[in-house]
Amino acid sequence: MCLDFGIPQVQAASLLAAMGIFDFFGTIISGWLSDRYDNRYLLFWYYGLRGLSLLYLPYSDFTFYGLSLFAMFYGLDWIATVPPTVRLTAQRFGAERANLVFGWIFAGHQLGAGAAAFGAGVSRTVYSSYLPAFFVAGALCVFAAVITLAIARPQPKPLAEPKPAAA
């Protein structure tokens, strides 16, 4: 897409690398936050900011400054959704089933990513632009942000009653 807007490959790769650096720090900070705050609200903010950054991209004028701002915000929450998702999965399904359920979540995510890539290709072929795909992806992220608030708060498990001492 950068080539469509006259951005040289090296500059585009540099922006992608910057996104990766912000991703590194965003994911680490997300893990720290996931241990301390309600993961539903973290996912709300992560998906919401991701969606807003995708909706902003077509208006960035594709300048170095505009794309750098996109790379920073998108990078910070690129993989940041994983720690709160894993924690919510363990809380909802138990530690013994968390790996299996998260595996299915990951598989579903990959199917969605494949569909999004295909949709972006269709957008480029039909409209000669990737921009409709960014609008759809941004809107879906905002929708995902809102529905994360519908996830029921995990109920704390009651402590087992102490067994009476043997006489």
pLDDT in tens, 1-36: 888 888 899 999 999 999 999 999 999 999 999 999
pLDDT in tens, 30-83: 999 999 999 999 999 999 999 999 999 988 888 888 999 999 989 998 889 999
Structural domain span for residue 63: 3-148
Q: Do the domain assignments include residue 137?
A: yes
Place of tokens 């949709």: 119
Q: Do the domain assignments include residue 68?
A: yes
* pTM (predicted TM-score): 0.84
Q: Give me the number of domains the chain comprises.
A: 1
Number of continuous H segments (helices) and E segments (strands) in the chain: 6, 0
Q: Do the domain assignments include residue 161?
A: no
Residue ranges in the chain assigned as alpha helix (H)? 9-34, 39-56, 64-76, 82-93, 95-127, 131-148
In terms of Cα–Cα distance, which of 42, 68, 70 is closest to 134? 70
In terms of Cα–Cα distance, which of 138, 142, 134 is closest to 45? 142
Q: Which residues 6+ apart lie within 8 Å of 64 measured at CB? A: 11
Q: Do the domain assignments include residue 67?
A: yes
Tokens matching residue 163? 């067994």
Q: Do the domain assignments include residue 156?
A: no
Residue 40 identity: R
Contact 51, 141 (CB under 8 A): yes
Give the CATH number for residue 31: 1.20.1250.20
Q: Do the domain assignments include residue 162?
A: no
pLDDT in tens, 101-150: 999 999 999 999 999 999 999 999 999 999 999 999 999 999 999 999 99
Q: Give the integer Cα–Cα distance in Å for 110 and 117.
A: 10
Q: Do the domain assignments include residue 125?
A: yes
